[in-house]
Structure 1
Amino acid sequence: MFKIARRKLLALAAASLATFAVTMPSHAADPIKVGFSMSLTGPGAPAGKQIVVALEIWRDDVNAKGGLLGRPVELTYYDDQSNPANVPGIYAKLLTVDKVDLLVGPYSTNMTAAAMPAIIQQKKMTISLLTIGVNEKFNYPGHFSMVPVGPDGVKAFSQGYFELAAAQNPKPKTVAIVAADSEFARTSADGARENAKALGFNIIYDKSYPPSTTDFAPIIRGIQATNADIVFVAAYPVDTVGIVRAANEIGYTPKMFGGTLVGLLVTPIKVQLGPLMNGIVIMESFVPAPTFNFPGLKELLTRYGELAKGQQIDPFGYGFAPFAYAAGQILATAVNETKSLDHQVLAKYIHEHKFNTVAGEIEYNKAGDWTKPRTVFTQFQGVAPGNLEQFRGVEKQVVLWPKEHATGKMIYPYAEAKK
């Protein structure tokens, strides 16, 4: 009697477990994995850490709404140490060992160029973060760039700079171009040459420096010796600090100074340099200007700011967080609308549709670039020492170009803004 009752109890338990297995949401054991490599150490870390925080916010938002295709989203990522040599192995692992379902990233032109062969070989798609000109080499339909340069590509990184210079009276005539000898900086310098020549400037200095450079005084003195009217610099965060400090120590004041100084997109670096930045004109991908107040942006940046506390990362996240979150939004929309994780299906959908994101409306052309550019050029004006809050708005970093986003006028020549 006891044995019969026991068998019935076990059978009932087994039936209950079977029912539980059927009715239990499949996503409990089967998440959708989104994979990427990210620069969490090394020169790219100030941007990479912002990107990860923003993607984690996006993941949490998606999961709060039930995930994708009824399954939760899980992020799988590794630190590439800002070294392109590490990237191919990471993407091989993501695709063949971790078997991630979707890809975003990586961050920066250098890392994305290194990742593309593995992505193409596996016939996958990705939305890379702030990458410029990579797909000109690969012409791959599965690559989408989350950077607002538009169809002009590399030229957009300097177009506003040279248009602002050309608008001055009298117009400056000569240009010096200096760039790090690495993928992004070289690409930016290529565009600068095109824009300078198109607007009738005479390039009298055009050199690169090794990425290992730590003493920039000789470089600045070399440029100073040419007596160039305007100077365009393409540099990474660590280089940016060295270049700005060297120019101030030497007292170098051409008529216009700036360029794609990526370090000046990072708030802690802005606070560190303070008044040394006054007068510098740079390209920005995203600024807290009134015309950039896109739906959902304020909420994202508020949550980002809360998570950034105590992490020793940029407290505002303007330069990178909106683009990372927007990449996630585009990916989620494509998956939900196609009801698919097939990368070719997703790529086709992204090519054919517009997306409303926290970084504004985004539409892609055949090359995977934005159809409309949204880069701006800003100038540091009246920056005070050691003041974080002055960078929350655009009062001390005035938007100059294009006209529809402008919040002020340029102080010219550069020396006037240094007073």
Structure 2
Amino acid sequence: MLNGFWNLVYAMGLGVLSLGIGLSSAEAQGVFKIGAPASLSGKYVAYGSQAKNGIEHAIEVWKATRGDSAGGRKIELIFADTQSDNALTVSIINDLIQTKKVDLIIGPDGSNVAAAAVPPWKKFKERPIWILPGGSSSKIEKEVGPDPYFFHTYAWAYYYHINNVDALKAAVGTKKKVAFVFTDGAYGRAHIDDARRYVKEAGFEIVANELVREGSADFNSAIIKVRATRPDILYALMQTTDAVQFAKQVYTAKTGIPYLVGTAQAQLTEWQQAVGEAQNCWTGVTTWVNGLAYPADPREPKLLPAAAAWEAAWRAKYGKAPEFLEAGYYVSTVLALLAVEATKSVDRDVLKTWLVEQDYKSPMGLHSKFKPSEITPHQAFGEMVVFQRVKEGNGYVSKLIYPKEIANGSLQTCRQ
């Protein structure tokens, strides 16, 4: 009945399209169902569109190299739009597990919606494997706990700050003053304790801690207070539209602060396009940036090619550079497909055992080996790179500044 086509489902009131409707229970046994909650609309749409692209591209490459099935099972992909809404995310997770009976979940993307997905997923005794290529909040890590069926393929919040602090130490030393500005939402609150911890432990002096309202249109009061402390480093913990507004207002205020430090926002094309020349000098930290030189996996060079080859193929297909979540969702989906192919099973314990035992090279890094984080048992791709947006010609580019082994630039001062 499926005729070799994988299915695309937009659920939860968005309309449903599924060629799998009407399958008998016997036929359903020959299907590998992937549930993909993603922010296809709302404030996290930049993340959700990346998630969708990464998953779809992985399945397209798989079909081109391995055929329409994995482990003898037709691949059914069920997308559901969270609309960047926590309450809707809860309903979607319930539906994917209880009604759609998916074998594995990949996503959702932003930290807020990912955190909202934890309670409904955990309440099911027979919950499926959950691979999360986004969501850095320590709240997620704490609520998931030592659950054996959770696989995190992105960096937790503290990885951001370990790498940011190491990059700053290497570039400017630790005798510097740091001012924090963070939002009162899940993202800012999840990051601030770890950021302060690593900054303080490294020997930097913290001179300001400004809490701002998530979704605010005006951050000037916080910017004025920060400027009065005369910091060397402005460290911003926010995302999406908040990060856009804040960068614009910092630029307009001409603060004279030498170094502008961010987390994930500076790598997003949407942020770069929205802030324009205000992006100059901001640093970011990420699991993926274009120009990496990781080699192909010798066992699966077509599915997991060298980073440069994967980037070139992506540019050829989409006419643009790949984004960080596109890379993360691609690799995560490939790992899921390989697990089913290798084990010929969708049993969660069988898949769990296989995933834990593997270690592939990929466009994301030299290792895909899952190891324990501070709390959860299965963490991969926590290695991060630090970059800085700098003016080059008529536009802006990301220069890698850390780690030293892959750097193609050095940290530049931001004085206006």
Q: TM-score, normalised by structure 1?
A: 0.81
Q: What number of residue pairs does the alignment pair up?
A: 372
- Please state how far the C-alpha of 1:304 moved relative to its aligned partner: 4.0
Distance 1:173 1:116 in 2: 39
Distance 1:213 1:191 in 2: 24
Question: What is the identity, as a one-letter code, of the residue corresponding to 1:36?
Answer: A
Aligned to 1:291: 293
Aligned to 1:11: none
Aligned to 2:87: 85
- Among candidates 143, 150, 161, match of residue 143 of structure 1: 150
Aligned to 2:322: 317
Within a 5 Å distance, the mapping from 1:205-284 to structure 2 comes to 205-260=208-263, 262-284=264-286
Distance 1:318 1:368 in 2: 27
CA contact (8 A) 2:283 2:386 kept: yes
CA contact (8 A) 1:43 1:236 kept: no
Unaligned runs of 5+ residues in structure 2 are: 1-25, 297-303
- Among candidates 353, 363, 370, match of residue 348 of structure 1: 353
Unaligned runs of 5+ residues in structure 1 are: 1-25, 310-314, 391-395
Q: Kindly report the root-mean-square deviation, in angstroms, between the aligned alpha carbons of the 2 structures.
A: 2.4
- Among candidates 374, 381, 388, match of residue 379 of structure 1: 388
Aligned to 1:174: 177
- Please state how far the C-alpha of 1:27 moved relative to its aligned partner: 7.1
- Please state how far the C-alpha of 1:298 moved relative to its aligned partner: 4.7
Aligned-residue sequence identity (percent) comes to 22
- Please state how far the C-alpha of 1:343 moved relative to its aligned partner: 1.3
Other structure's SS at 1:354 match: coil
Which protein shows a greater Rg?
Answer: 1
Question: What is the identity, as a one-letter code, of the residue corresponding to 2:400?
Answer: V
After superposition, the Cα gap between the structure-2 partners of 1:168 and 1:107, relative to the gap in structure 1 and judged at 3 Å, is: closer
Aligned to 1:19: none
- Please state how far the C-alpha of 1:341 moved relative to its aligned partner: 0.7
Other structure's SS at 1:103 match: strand
Aligned to 2:115: 113
Distance 1:91 1:170 in 2: 46
- Please state how far the C-alpha of 1:243 moved relative to its aligned partner: 0.9
Aligned to 2:411: 410
- Please state how far the C-alpha of 1:300 moved relative to its aligned partner: 4.5
Q: Deviations over 1:210-245 (max 9, x none)?
A: 222111222211211222221111111211111111
Question: What is the identity, as a one-letter code, of the residue corresponding to 2:244?
Answer: V
CA contact (8 A) 2:292 2:308 kept: no
Aligned to 1:126: 130
The 10-residue stretch of structure 1 (132-141 or 168-177) with the greater mean CA deviation from structure 2: 168-177
Aligned to 1:63: 63
Question: What is the identity, as a one-letter code, of the residue corresponding to 1:52?
Answer: K
After superposition, the Cα gap between the structure-2 partners of 1:320 and 1:102, relative to the gap in structure 1 and judged at 3 Å, is: same
Q: Deviations over 1:183-209 (max 9, x none)?
A: 233222222111111111222211322
Q: Deviations over 1:347-366 (max 9, x none)?
A: 22212321333323211114
CA contact (8 A) 2:179 2:231 kept: yes
After superposition, the Cα gap between the structure-2 partners of 1:97 and 1:229, relative to the gap in structure 1 and judged at 3 Å, is: same
After superposition, the Cα gap between the structure-2 partners of 1:250 and 1:110, relative to the gap in structure 1 and judged at 3 Å, is: same
Other structure's SS at 2:70 match: coil
CA contact (8 A) 1:274 1:384 kept: no
Question: What is the identity, as a one-letter code, of the residue corresponding to 1:117?
Answer: P
Other structure's SS at 1:330 match: helix
Other structure's SS at 2:335 match: helix
CA contact (8 A) 1:165 1:172 kept: no
